[in-house]
Amino acid sequence: MNIHFARTAAKHFDEEIRFFKTWIDKPKALGAVLPTSNATARRMASVIDVGSSDPVLELGPGTGVITKAILARNVDPEELYSFEHTEAFLPKLRSQFPDVNIIHGDAFQLDEALPDMKGGKFDTIISAVPLLNFSVEQRVEFLSDLFERLNPGRPVVQISYGPLSPIPPDQKSYLVEPLDWMLRNIPPARLWVFRKRLAS
């Protein structure tokens, strides 16, 4: 067996075990039984504007699969802010991504932990927050808060595990578009893009 392949497989298995143990302890804190697949992570990161120098906000990096995909889009590690609520993931994230801003905090209370951006905005927000665990009212407020942190017209990308958008459409305030249906993710995942309507 190829040694590199064996090491990669062992590392991937170790990440899945760590994720599953955390899910057993705190099932509501995670949206899935296993980490997001590499293909799903790449698809989520594909909306990042590679020509932008503005930072990217990641919510719920977990084991770092999506974080890795974001960095692969040539995002400067120092311009990536990753919020993780589950403490068990923090040591590995900080070890694997020493130059990324790994922040322990609640995605629903970003003001408490997000560094002062001096009026700057994010290019893209990529979220793996398990929104279906929260009320519809909380989800709408969550999205509204994220829009205030984005450059005009830029997207919020959200992963979910249901056939419908986790946040109901509001044609007056924002647009909701299905990005992709990732059938090979476990469980199968639906990716959604939200954009605030620009003033006409």
- What pLDDT digit, counting tens, does each position of 30-61 carry? 444 467 899 999 999 999 999 999 999 999 99
Top pLDDT among 175 and 30 is at: 175
Closest by CA to 186, choosing from 35, 11, 66, 17, is: 35
Q: Is residue 20 over pLDDT 50? A: no
Predicted TM-score of the model (pTM)? 0.82
Q: What's the mean per-residue pLDDT of the chain?
A: 85
131, 59 in Cβ contact below 8 A? Answer: no
Q: Is residue 181 over pLDDT 60? A: yes
Copy the structure tokens of residue 137: 């009212």
Residue type, 60: G
Q: Give the C-alpha separation, 105 to 84, whole Å.
A: 6
Mean pLDDT over 134-159 rounds to: 96
Q: Note the Cα 191 to chain centre separation in Å.
A: 11
Q: Give the C-alpha separation, 200 to 192, whole Å.
A: 24
Which spans in 46-189 are helix H? 65-71, 90-96, 136-147
Q: Note the Cα 77 to chain centre separation in Å.
A: 15
Burial of 175 (0-12, 13-18, 19+ CB in 10 A): middle
Copy the structure tokens of residue 22: 């955390």
pLDDT digits (tens, 9 = 90+) for 88-130: 999 999 999 999 999 999 999 999 889 888 788 999 999 999 9
Indicate the Cα dihedral angle 181, 110, 124, 17, nearest 10°.
-40
pLDDT classification of 200: cutoffs 50, 70, 90: low
